[in-house]
Amino acid sequence: MKNLAIILAVFSLGSTPILPKGAAQSVVIGQPANSFRSGLDAVTSVRKSFDKGEYNTFLKEMDSLYIAAKEGGELDQIANMRTGFSEDWQQWEAKAQTLQQEKNQELLKAVADQKTPFAQKIRSVTTELSDTSEHKAINHLASFRQMAPNTGKNSDENRLIDIDLEYEYKALELNDPKPQEKREKLCALQMAKFEKIREVSREFKDESLKKEIDLMGPHFDTRLAQKWDLADLNALANGKIVPKDAVEEKIASILSHYQEKLSDLTKHFVAEQDKK
């Protein structure tokens, strides 16, 4: 599909749209547990374990899987799906961001008088963490997720594309029968990925790229916590978690409504682009 990048970009907005037949699904940070665990508490716990080296054995096992896959040519299928962003994808993004803002306003309104852990989860996912420069840096680095190997403008960008492909493969191959542990391991993989990016960036000649990576550091774990909370809310919207009261039912309704709107926007845009 010509606009796979557009479809995958939907997931960075925290939604799970109804995709056209044959469209690839993006990897998210696991499926939610039966109760709403705070994303901040979950990521803080994973970070402590990560820093203590408790994930080292797991990470080495994933390294071995990746090396074997690379040597066996198993990465080609994933790489071939990376078509990059079309020149006019910004049109879609602008409309998608407008939907995102509208959705956030409705979510906050629904829990305006609430002080529950669930309401805090809503406030977590609707908080804007990035200033203009950080937002641009995040978008630029996110664009590498859709680029095939050796399509960057320089060797530094190509290195980041390779790392992204590596960790996309690892996330896809992660198989743990316990949903909560799988979720935590996916989070640890993201931490390992960013640690590797920061390490290799010390040798970059592209100073602007180094600066963008530095800008992402301070809020990295907070963004992981937002993704954790978003996974819970999307599960609520998709019926994987049953609402337990009127507030959760309202939130599920809002999320479902905007998932449908985003899906319609995406399918229409892809259809128009495929005609070109």
Mapped onto helix, strand or coil, the DSSP state of residue 3 is coil
Record the tokens describing residue 271, joined without a space: 């259809």
pTM of the model: 0.83
104-118, 154-168, 258-272: least confidently modelled range: 258-272
45 pLDDT higher than 50? yes
- How many residues in total does the chain contain? 276
pLDDT at 238 over 50: yes
| Cβ–Cβ < 8 Å for 130, 219 | yes
Predicted confidence (pLDDT) at residue 46 exceeds the cutoff of 50: yes
Q: What is the C-alpha to C-alpha distance for residues 163 and 71, in angstroms, rounded to an integer?
A: 16
Domain limits of the chain? 4-270
Mean pLDDT for the stretch of residues 245-261 = 93
- 175 Rama sector, left if φ>0, alpha if ψ -120 to 50, beta otherwise: beta
Q: Return the pLDDT at 87.
A: 63
What pLDDT score does 37 carry? 85
| Residue 119, pLDDT score | 93
pLDDT confidence band for 14 (50 / 70 / 90): very low
CB within 8 A of 226, min separation 6: which ones? Answer: 14, 39, 124, 125, 127, 129
The Cα diameter of the chain in Å comes to 56
Average pLDDT, the chain: 85
Q: Phi first, then psi: give them for residue 250, nearest 5 degrees.
A: -65, -45
Q: What is the CB neighbour count within 10 angstroms for residue 263?
A: 18
State residue 8's pLDDT score: 44
Residue 15's pLDDT is 46
* Cβ proximity of 157 and 140 under 8 Å: no
Task: Please say if the pLDDT value at position 241 is more than 60.
Answer: yes
Amino acid 276: pLDDT: 63
Measured from the Cβ of residue 250, the count of other Cβ atoms closer than 10 Å reads 16
pLDDT band (50, 70, 90) for residue 179: confident
pLDDT for 223 beyond 90: yes
DSSP label at residue 150: T
- DSSP state letters, 27-75: P-S----SS---HHHHHHHHHHHHHTTTTHHHHHHHHHHHHHHHHTTTT
Q: How far is CA 73 from the centre of its chain?
A: 26
**Distance from C-alpha of 204 to C-alpha of 150, rounded to nearest angstrom:** 16
Residue 274: CB atoms within 10 Å:
11
Q: What are phi and psi of 21, to 5 degrees?
A: -55, 130
pLDDT higher than 60, residue 138: yes
Alpha helices in 127-203 (DSSP H): 132-143, 155-173, 179-201
Percentage of the chain surpassing pLDDT 90? Answer: 57
pLDDT digits (tens, 9 = 90+) for 54-91: 999 999 999 999 999 999 999 998 998 887 766 667 77
- Checking if the pLDDT of 10 tops 50, the result is no
Q: How many CA atoms lie within 13 A of 112 on its CB side?
A: 5
State yes or no: pLDDT of 2 exceeds 60: no
Question: In whole angstroms, what is the distance from residue 160 CA to residue 169 CA?
Answer: 14
Q: How many CB atoms lie under 10 A from the CB of residue 3?
A: 26
